[in-house]
A and B are shown apart, each in its own frame.
Chain A
Amino acid sequence: MTAMATPRPTPAPAAPARWRDPDRPAPCRLTVNGTDVVLEVPPRRTLADGLRDGGWTGVRLGCEHGVCGSCTVLLDDAPVRSCLMLAVQAEGRSVRTVEGLAGAAGLSPLQRAFHRAGAVQCGFCTPGFLMQATALLEREPDAAPERVRERLSANVCRCSGGTAALAAVRDAQRELGGGAR
C-alpha cells in the first residue's frame, strides 16, 4: 500500500458561544397569531420591538417601562406587557396580537363593541385594551363589572379614561352570552 500522508483531522465545529453577543441578531422561533415565525433579534430587543420589527405594529410603544399597557399582547392566552419581555423570552411560545383578532367573519365581537361604544378616540391604546379584554372574556366570560374594571385598570387611555372601553366590554359580554346577571 502506498504510504499516504495522514489526512489532517477536520477541526470540530466551534461549540456555540455560551454567551450571546448583545447586539447580534439571532433567530427566535415563536408562533404569532397562529403562524410559526422567526424573528431575527438581538437578546436585548424587547418582545414589543421584535413584534413591531416583524410587522405587527398594532403592538404599541407607550411608556416602554410597563405602566401604560399599550404594548399588551397575549402569551399563551394570558395578557402580558410585551415591553417587559425580551423577545428571546418568547421563544417557543404562542403570541397573539391585535392583528389576530379579526377573522374570516370580520372584526371580533369585542372589536365591534369598542366601535359601537365610541371607545376608540385616537386609537393608540385600543390594541392593548382589546388584548386585555379578549384574554379576560376568554377565561371569565361571566366576569362581574368590578372584575372587568380591575382588569382594564391595567391599561391607560389618555383620551377617554377608559370608561367607554368598560361599557364596550360589558356590551360584548352580553353579545357573547356571558356577563354577570
Chain B
Amino acid sequence: MKPPAFAYTRARSVPEALSLLAEAGEEAKLLAGGQSLLPLLALRLARPSHLVDIGGIADLDRPLLDHTGLTLPALVTHAALERHPGLAGPWAALGQCAGQIGHYPIRVRGTFGGSCSHGDPAAELPVVAVAMDARFVLRSSAGDRTVPAEEFFLSPFVTALEPTEMLVAAHFPAHEGRVASGFAEFAARAGDFATASVAVALTRDEQDRVRHVRIALGSVGPVPLRARAAEHELTGRALDETAIAAGARAATDGVEGRDGADLVPVLLARALRRLNERSGDHAA
C-alpha cells in the first residue's frame, strides 16, 4: 500500500524539530532514516498526523570517543557504526551488532536514534545499549533529561520518550580496567530480526577474573532483559569453558519457555568465547 496522508516539514536544527513536534501534537512523529517508520506507513500500521524530517540536521551523525566514553548522536547510521574504526575493545559489541541489523541498504539509512526510539523488542541496538549501561539523552524544549537504557525501553514499541521529546544521543560510559564486550544473535534468514540475541559487557581484573558483567537478552521478552543469574554465575571467575558453560546454563533464568530462549545459552557461550579470542582487551 502507499503511505497514508501526513503533513510534512523539514527541521534544520534540533530546537526547530522540538518546536515543530510541540506544535504538531501527540500524533506527530520524527522521521530520520525511516527504516522503521516507512514500513509502518506502507502497511498503514501507523498514521502520524505530521512528520518532522530530521534527517538533514547537521552534526548528529558522528560517534564521539573521549575519556568519558562513547557518545552516539541520534543520526549515526548502522552502516557508519558497523565500519567505525574506533569500535574495538570495549565497544566491540556495538560494531558487531550494527553489522547484523537487517541488510546493508537498511543499514545505510537506519539510525541509532531511530532504532532505539522505535523500541522493537527484536531490535539489536537496544540489547547492546542495556548491556553497556548506555544513558539516553532525551531533549525537549524544556531541556534535557538522561534515562538509563534499562529504564528507556518500557514495553514493545513503547519507550520513555514523551511526544514532545527527541532522543538526541546515547552516552556509553568508559570503565576502568580491562573492558570487553560482545554480541551474538541468531536469525533464521539473513536480514531477519533476531530470534534471540545476547550482548555482554564486562571488566576483568589482572588475573582475568570477571569483576563486573552485564548481560542483556533480546527478542525473548517485551524489552531487553538482564540475565542476572548468569551475571552472578560469572562474577569473580575467569572465563574458562567451565565458567562459560555455567553462565550459559544460568542465562535462561526467568525466560524459560519463551520463543527463542533455548538459543540464549548457545549465544551467550558464543559471545563469551569470541570475546576471549579477540586479542587486545583495551584498558579504558
Contacts and interface: CB of A to CB of B under 8 A. Distances in A.
Contacts of B6: 22, 43-44
A84 B106 contact: yes
Contacts of A79: 104-105, 108
Interface stretch (B49-57, B154-162, B227-235): B49-57
A75 interface: yes
Contacts of A88: 8, 10, 53
A46 B190 contact: no
A64 B108 contact: no
**Interface on chain B toward A: helix, strand, loop, or mixed SS?**
mixed
A23 B35 CA distance: 22
Contacts of B2: 44-46, 49, 64
A75 B42 CA distance: 21
Contact of B34 (A20, A45, A86): A86
A83 interface: yes
Contact of B103 (A20, A78, A89, A153): A153
A69 B50 CA distance: 28
B254 interface: no
Contacts, number: 100
B104 A22 contact: no
A85 interface: yes
B4 A84 contact: no
A165 to B, nearest CB: 14
Contacts of B191: 153-154
A29 interface: no
Contact of A66 (B4, B10, B24, B39): B39
B39 A22 contact: no
Interface in A88-124: 88-89
Nearest to B24: A19
A150 B109 CA distance: 18
A19 B103 contact: no
A181 interface: no
B265 to A, nearest CB: 26
Interface string B122-162: 00000000000000000000000000000000000000000
Interface string B1-31: 1111111111000000000100010000001
Contacts of B1: 64
A78 B9 CA distance: 25
A129 B43 CA distance: 24
Nearest to A22: B5
B53 A89 contact: yes
Given A79-B104, A79-B105, A84-B109, A19 B35 contact: no
B38 A85 contact: yes
B105 A132 contact: yes
B272 interface: no
Given A69-B103, A78-B79, A153-B191, A83 B108 contact: no
A17 B238 CA distance: 63
21 contacts: A18-B20, A19-B7, A44-B6, A44-B41, A64-B1, A65-B39, A66-B39, A66-B42, A69-B103, A72-B105, A78-B105, A80-B105, A80-B109, A81-B105, A81-B106, A84-B106, A84-B109, A89-B34, A153-B189, A154-B190, A154-B191
- What are the 10 tightest A-B residue pairs by CB atom distance, in nearest-first order? A43-B8, A154-B103, A22-B5, A153-B190, A19-B7, A84-B38, A65-B42, A44-B3, A65-B39, A79-B105
